[in-house]
Copies of this chain bind each other. A is one copy, B any other.
Amino acid sequence: MSEGATINDVAAMAGVAKSTVSRYLNGKPVREDSARRIQRAIEHFHFEANPFARLSAKQSKMIGVILPGFDSTVTPRVLTVMDKYLRTKGYWPLFVNTESDIAFEVASIGNLARMNVDGIILVASFITPAHRRAVESIRTPVVFMGQEFDAGISILDDNLSAGEMLGRHLAEQGLRSAGLIWVTEDDIAVGIRRKEGILRGLAEGGVTDVRNYLADFSYATACDVARRVLQQKDRPEVLICATDRIAYGVYKAARELGLRIPEDVSVTGFGGYDTSEVLTPALTTIRFNAEDEACICADTVLKLIQGEPVSKTQLIGYRFLPGGSVRRGQPVFLK
């Protein structure tokens, strides 16, 4: 109602000291009739405490969430879940978007700590020594999501297993040559682990003709690379893409060049975006449960705040989503 109802107004109306109101708000013991009067005053004013005024509180009830961008396919789902989980538990999420500016990302760790957040979740693309220093210079607990952090807590996709599973599957389909359209190794989780899994799975199936092509996370680059690869005279039988988005680039290029999927070339992605199912043919891909991951991150940071024990590294499971983008060759039975 009135813009400025404060704890003082509530205290005055309830006839108690503001410290008593504060105690009531924080669930500490208050005599029953005081509580009743305070509650009435709160309702009268539609009062809600200003979370930013808790300057000297032990707990600010705010959690900083540092992310490299809003605009990735999984980020919105991740944010939705984190936000909901944290609010449900009475915390205020504070989102800091770095647009992949690493210096700003590192600085944000310190900034948020100084703003007195109770914990920090950092959605990481890669982790540098500066990250480690920043984390070590503060007492605020930090959870890394998406990349492994050897000096602290992290939660990430089980890229190794997932890659291996996909690699084996492709080998079992009878495919004999593969091209990996991948991202740089700066990204340990995707650039290294995920690829490592794929190679392992392919090798188990006896596929050794593997070529590497470098792209990045963008659709535009993927189109360029795919165009080049598909025009090779002896192009690989299957193009294994580091992400679904890269696979979209292959679809685009294949259509431009009049190549059919999967008759002329097989394609796989990684991500399992909703849209991948709408493509013709539907994209064969792997989906990680981003919602679970986000939830575990939020849960883990709250556990750290409470001083409860948590695992140093938690891996997220995956699901294989068979589409129609892989040619069924002679089945090959392994082992």
Q: Which of A72, A76, A219 has the most CB of B within 10 A?
A: A76
A87-132 residues with Cβ-Cβ distance < 8 A to B are 94-95, 97, 99, 110-111, 113-116
Q: Are B138 and A3 in contact (CB under 8 A)?
A: yes
CB of A18 within 8 A of chain B? no
A80 touches B97 (CB 8 A): yes
Q: Which of A294-335 contact B (CB under 8 A)?
A: none
Instruction: Determine which of B50, B97, B274, B279 lies in contact with A219 in the assembled complex, contact meaning CB atoms within 8 Å.
Output: B274
Contacts of A40 in B (CB 8 A): none
Q: With an 8 A cutoff between CB atoms, is A69 at the interface?
A: yes
Check: A275 CB closer than 8 A to any chain B CB.
yes
A280 CB within 8 Å of chain B: yes
Does A37 have its Cβ within 8 Å of any Cβ on chain B?
A: no
Number of copies: 2
Q: Does A164 contact B (CB under 8 A)?
A: no
> With an 8 A cutoff between CB atoms, is A23 at the interface?
no
0/1 string, A63-77, CB within 8 A of B gives 1: 000000111100111
Interface size on A, residues (CB 8 A): 47
Answer whether residue A255 sits at the interface, using C-beta atoms and an 8 A cutoff: yes
Query: A99 to B275, alpha carbons, bound, how many Å?
Result: 22
In the complex, chain B residues whose CB is within 8 Å of the CB of A97? 79-80, 83-84
A275 touches B255 (CB 8 A): no
Cβ of A4 within 8 Å of any chain B Cβ, yes or no, is: yes
* A51 on the B face (CB < 8 A): yes
Residues of B contacting A139 in the complex (Cβ-Cβ under 8 angstroms): 3
Interface: A278 (CB within 8 A): yes
Across-interface contacts of A55 in B (CB, < 8 A)? 52-53, 55
Kindly state whether residue A182 has any CB partner on chain B within 8 Å: no
Question: Is A1 an interface position by the 8 A CB rule?
Answer: yes
Q: What CA separation (Å) do A282 and B69 show in the bound complex?
A: 27
Known: A3-B139, A51-B115, A80-B97. 8 other contacts (CB 8 A): A1-B137, A3-B113, A3-B137, A48-B114, A50-B116, A71-B76, A95-B95, A275-B278
Provide 23 A-B residue pairs closer than 8 Å at the C-beta atoms, listed in order of the A residue: A3-B110, A3-B139, A48-B111, A50-B115, A51-B115, A52-B55, A52-B116, A53-B55, A55-B55, A70-B75, A70-B80, A71-B77, A80-B99, A83-B97, A84-B97, A84-B99, A94-B94, A219-B274, A252-B277, A255-B280, A278-B279, A279-B280, A280-B280
Task: List 7 tightest A-B contacts by C-beta distance, closest first.
Answer: A71-B76, A70-B76, A52-B52, A70-B79, A280-B280, A275-B275, A248-B278
